[in-house]
Chains A and B, each alone.
Chain A
């Protein structure tokens, strides 16, 4: 059992999570239902109910530097089964947003893959699968682990070589630009 000094509880952190998720984290009574149904616990460093407790205790750094918030699959099991109707998946999402804004990326590849995806959407207006794979490989510097799938995927024409251009590409690009300028929070 680990002991957390409540003197290190960051009240601002608790308030920020609550405000951005519109959830009352205080109502969690640690029943563990969320963890019982979470398919991702096997890769988490803190289970989802532990993340909830750490938020209640204001343990900002532990939460925002955890692997769990990056590995949550947003499957909605916790939200669906919480007896206190806390939208737990949304809290996980909000923690991920806050970690990202602070420049943390405990699961670097997961972050980079999302980045590549969004760059593809910004550039083309739609996700262009082959292009985003290439972008991901370039940015992560990782040996592409899915090369074994290429023959099957190509033989079945699963990856078109050209993006599908859309007329409103600029409109989509401007959504991203305004987002970066304004830093919209929610």
Chain B
């Protein structure tokens, strides 16, 4: 059974609790063991790298060190923003000069070589799309979705080394494996407006509005994301976007783990579908009951 260290990230304790819980439930259902990084702290997220790269790497390195102390080679996180920070720290600390500056900020110097990956990558590479498909008990046929990856999960490609950086397919393939119809979404890696929602809401209105508009143009019933911030911009802020752009979007925005969880028939309360802001019931009602086995 594959086993990795697990770094949940702060937003999983609050705004994206449903992503965090559905991720754990799905990994359990497909036999991927997640070992929590003990007493993890914030990776620093985008504010830290906006201030200083050594500070940002130190905040991440404390967590890499804790993962290393578990004896793990891979630390998986559901959040692309955490992934970027952890990966940047890991890669930049391959340089001795940079590493010593980072270590000068830490109580305990980081000596490991833990590789941060997304949970999505681990699911696709260590469990496999076929294995996920084999475990499906409730295929979600009848539902058409657009998969949105966000801007940083696969970019820059030399650093992220996973999937295609212009047209990533990992989520598309997983969603197809559970019976969904996946529309080819041209804005898969466009930015949603990042963390500007609070200080410059107009940016998120415009950029996330563009994503919703493109999804609507494809006639999808829902969007699927792998990022807590993308999800929040598209879902929680959808009403603000409608007001700002004089639009009437009503597109539910799922975490891919919520849909996987439905297809794998994990306990409903682990999926937190009631926490989505745009009501998903209309979309979910389109799922066709599987034909009775003869």
Contacts and interface: CB of A to CB of B under 8 A. Distances in A.
Interface of A: 39-40, 42-43, 71, 73-77, 79-80, 87, 89, 93, 96-97, 100, 107, 109-110, 112-115, 117-118, 121, 125-130, 133, 136, 140, 145-146, 148-149, 152-153, 156-160, 164, 166-169, 171-172, 174-176, 178-179, 182, 184-186
- Using C-beta atoms within 8 Å of the partner chain, give the interface range for chain B: 35 or more
Interface of B: 10-11, 13-15, 17, 39-42, 44-55, 58-59, 62, 98, 101, 104-107, 151-152, 155-157, 165, 189-191, 193-203, 206-207, 236-237, 239-240, 274-277
A179 B39 contact: no
B152 A75 contact: yes
Q: Which of B13, B42, B156, B199 has the most CB of A within 10 A?
A: B199
B41 A179 contact: no
B45 A184 contact: no
Q: Which of B41, B53, B151, B277 has the most CB of A within 10 A?
A: B41
B98 A186 contact: yes
Contacts of B277: 152, 156
B52 A186 contact: yes
Nearest to B197: A146
Given A74-B194, A75-B152, 20 more contacts: A73-B193, A73-B194, A77-B155, A93-B53, A97-B50, A109-B198, A113-B198, A113-B199, A121-B42, A126-B13, A126-B41, A129-B10, A148-B239, A153-B15, A158-B275, A171-B107, A172-B59, A174-B107, A175-B106, A186-B98
Contacts of A129: 10-11, 14-15
Q: Which of A107, A145, A146, A184 has the most CB of B within 10 A?
A: A184
A63 to B, nearest CB: 16
Contacts of A133: 198
9 contacts: A73-B203, A97-B50, A107-B200, A126-B13, A127-B42, A146-B197, A171-B106, A175-B55, A184-B104
A40 B192 CA distance: 10
A113 B195 contact: yes
B78 to A, nearest CB: 15
Contacts of A121: 41-42, 44, 48, 59
A127 B45 contact: yes
Contact of B156 (A39, A80, A112, A168): A80
A91 to B, nearest CB: 12
B199 A39 contact: no
Contact of A158 (B45, B191, B236): B236
Contacts of B98: 186
Nearest to B275: A156
A126 B11 CA distance: 9
A179 B58 contact: yes
Given A93-B50, A114-B50, A166 B39 contact: yes
Contacts of B40: 166
Contacts of A140: 199
A114 B45 CA distance: 10
A76 B150 CA distance: 11
Given A73-B193, A179-B55, A164 B13 contact: yes
Nearest to A88: B156
Which 5 A-B pairs have CB atoms at the shortest separation, nearest pair first? A114-B47, A109-B199, A75-B151, A75-B191, A76-B155
